[in-house]
Amino acid sequence: MLDRKARSFYSLTVEIDHLTVPVSDYERSRRFYEEVLAPLGFTTLLDWHDKRRAYLGVPPQASSLWLVESAITGTIDIALAASNADAVDAFHAAATAAGARTLHDPGVRPEHSNRYYAARVLDPAGNSIEAVHRTCASETRAAA
């Protein structure tokens, strides 16, 4: 049996086609996510304006994050992989510049693992978005 910290670094490959994020304001949220997720390689792949939806992804892959205008928001907690700690920092900088509320500044999250470098913010609809880079021991940064 793995303890909590060991489990946080242990991961099987999981295939998820997409995540749907309910947002209260389609236009504002689309702009927010375009800015905030750019450091992680995401871009809008389909902007379905008349249906109040935007599909984002990392080209050349299919869209994986769908923004859908909804009356029910603030219910999602997403952690997205970052290629390195600098991408986590850039995600956080873009998020705060776009008006996100910081829940956790960029840094090592020892409650998960000493190799878990992440930043967590709230989007305009109250959804929790985290960028995380699981480092190797030689690249672990001190907490910010």
Band of residue 46 on the pLDDT scale cut at 50, 70, 90:
very high
Band of residue 69 on the pLDDT scale cut at 50, 70, 90:
very high
Looking at residue 17, its pLDDT comes to 83
pTM for the model stands at 0.84
Distances 138 to 11, 16, 123, 134 between C-alpha atoms, Å: 20, 30, 32, 12
Burial of 117 (0-12, 13-18, 19+ CB in 10 A): buried
Domains of the chain from N-terminus onward: 18-139 (3.10.180.10)
**pLDDT one-digit tens code per residue, 70-123:** 999 988 999 999 999 999 999 999 999 999 999 999 999 988 888 999 999 999
